[in-house]
Amino acid sequence: MNVARRARALACVVLAAAPGAMAPATAPDEQAAPAAIVPLYVRPLTSIESGRNDANPAWARSGKLIAFERSRGDKKEIVVARADGTIVHTVYYQASEGGKEPKFFFPGLTEEVSYNAGIAWSPGGDRLAFTSNGGIGNYDLYVHELGGKTTRLTNHKEKDGQADWSPVADQLVFVSGRTGKGDLYLLDVASRGVTRLTWGTSPFLYPVWSPDGTKVTMLHGNNDNHDVYVIDDVRRPAETLRALTTWVHDDLRPVWSPDGKKIAFYSNYNPAGDSRTWAIVVVAADGSDPTDGAGLAAKVVATSVVPDMERGPAWMPNSAGIVYVKDDRSEYSPLYLVDLVRGTNLLVKTETKMNHDVTCSADGVIAFRAQVDQWDQIFVAKLKD
């Protein structure tokens, strides 16, 4: 499957940061020096260590567990921890000889390189799905029962990945290159039955379930111009597919608000026409907002943003705010919070540097990646209610 660099291939490579730009007149104003938000606490999730990089945290829906990717050289494992940072499990999947049966190895004890990434939690938080090459080069979907076995869910010569677990059912929506370009499929975890959802001349990427588990949002487009789409009913995907954006600007990584009423995404729309400058746009999920032109430009809520392809914009649990990384190199990519009710963008004073991979739990705890002595670590922060 040939995927744009900004859309990131299923083998998971992070999008590069972009320089800043002026905000459109209709966006929330950031010209006045804002008062900073001081979190109740900011701390490393686990102990700070050199020699490995941690990235892409993903909260279980309960907020009690968090999983993230840990890289040691070329190897990548998945670490599961409690909210207090206590590590409870590590997933490092490796195919056995012949690649027929699964086997687990402790990291560092095998010579083959295994890449495990793309975390998707089950509704109950007792399982997680992920993408792995198993040390044999072919990327497929797996499900791991915490403290138990790992089961291979797909087995295809083309890459499968970018899975998202339904919040209400034992189903995964995922992307596969088995059509040659990237389409969405629905997978029943118990039976492993697969149903195709999309047919198109260009890839469909990064599907995300709506909070009620009835709809899916995704990207669709080519290397230079992706648009945001929604399937309103996964039982009738072709009939209910609709576009939320149709303009010439590149739109990336849509995410539903927790209340299901809005969708936030990154866009390289800006008045200067600089394709390297990114913003966050928020539109009504029901399609009642314009799909292009000045009407859509008016939905910009934050400018000079560093886009995060792993999780997309990080919604606060009340659906009234989004935490993001500001493209401010002089301040080492600080965190900001856009308040959608007040129309303000405020600095979040974490005192961390080179922040990325922001996500928020149902309890309002922010997890993110920051750099310490050139090594990436996961931090957590709690804002005042």
280 in any annotated domain: yes
pLDDT of residue 112: 56
pLDDT of residue 162: 95
158 in any annotated domain: no
Structure tokens at 116: 């495990």
Alpha carbon separation from 58 to 73, 155, 185 (Å, rounded) = 22, 25, 22
110 in any annotated domain: no
pLDDT of residue 346: 97
Dist CA 216 CA 204 (whole Å): 11
Dist CA 66 CA 61 (whole Å): 9
318 in any annotated domain: yes
Question: Which amino acid type is present at position 172?
Answer: L
Q: Total structural domains in the chain?
A: 1
Structure tokens at 207: 């599907």
- Residue of 88, 90, 194 lying closest to 140 (CA atoms): 194
Q: What is the mean pLDDT of each run of 10 residues along the chain (385 residues)?
A: 39 31 42 77 96 96 96 88 95 59 38 76 96 82 91 91 96 93 95 94 95 97 94 96 97 98 98 95 98 98 93 96 96 97 96 97 97 97 90
Structure tokens at 140: 């497929």
| Alpha carbon 151 to chain centroid, angstroms | 23
pTM to 2 decimal places: 0.87
pLDDT of residue 91: 86
- Residue of 119, 42, 9 lying closest to 323 (CA atoms): 42
Q: Mind listing the pLDDT tens digit for each residue in 15-34?
A: 233 333 334 444 444 445 45
332 in any annotated domain: yes
68 in any annotated domain: no
pLDDT of residue 2: 40
Q: CB-hemisphere CA count at 13 Å for 383?
A: 23
Q: Mind listing the pLDDT tens digit for each residue in 68-124?
A: 999 988 788 899 999 999 999 998 766 654 444 444 333 333 335 667 889 999 999
pLDDT of residue 95: 62
| 256: three-class secondary structure by DSSP | strand
CATH of the domain at 334: 2.120.10.30
Query: Mean pLDDT for the chain?
Result: 87
Dist CA 265 CA 344 (whole Å): 18
Dist CA 379 CA 359 (whole Å): 11
- What lies within 8 Å, CB to CB, of 280 at 6+ separation is 264, 265, 266, 267, 300, 301, 302, 305, 313, 322, 324, 338
5 in any annotated domain: no
pLDDT of residue 94: 66
Are 145 and 126 contacting, i.e. CB atoms less than 8 angstroms apart?
Answer: yes
pLDDT of residue 109: 34
pLDDT of residue 342: 94
pLDDT of residue 103: 44
What residue numbers bound the domain in which 225 lies? 41-55+165-382
What single-letter DSSP state applies at residue 115? B
pLDDT of residue 243: 98
Dist CA 74 CA 77 (whole Å): 10
Q: What is the CA radius of gyration of the chain?
A: 20
Determine if residue 12 is left, alpha or beta; phi over 0 gives left, psi from -120 to 50 gives alpha, anything else beta: left
96 in any annotated domain: no
Are 151 and 134 contacting, i.e. CB atoms less than 8 angstroms apart?
Answer: no
pLDDT of residue 224: 83
| 289: three-class secondary structure by DSSP | coil
Are 132 and 67 contacting, i.e. CB atoms less than 8 angstroms apart?
Answer: no
